[in-house]
Amino acid sequence: MASLHAFVYGRVQGVFFRSFVAGHARELGLTGYVRNVADGSVEVKGEGKRQDLEKLVGFLREGPPHARVIKIDNSWGEYTGKYPGFNVT
C-alpha cells in the first residue's frame, strides 16, 4: 500500500478533469481526493495499492477529452488509511 500526491498542470480546470479522476480512482478502489487549486492546477491525493496508483497516474496523463495535460509533479509516500473514500472537493 502506498500514497500518491500529485499536481497536474495544463488545461485541467473546467473540462471535467476532477470527475474523470474520481471515476477512475473509485474503479481502482483508491481513496483520497481531487481538487482544483487557485493557480489553475489540480491536486490529487490517492491511497491504495501501488500498481493501482501507477494506473491512476496514467489516467492523469491522459485526462478527459477536452483537457490538455502539460506537466505532472508527483511524489510517493506511506499509506495512512485516513481517507474513507475518494472525493471531489
Which residue is catalytic, options 35, 36, 74, 87? Answer: 36
Please, are residues 44 and 32 in contact by the beta-carbon 8 Å criterion?
yes
C-alpha grid cell, residue 89: 472537493
Torsion of CA 71, 33, 1, 28, to 10 degrees: -90
58 phi and psi angles, rounded to 5 deg: -60, -40
Q: Is 36 a catalytic residue?
A: yes
Annotated catalytic sites, by residue? 18, 36
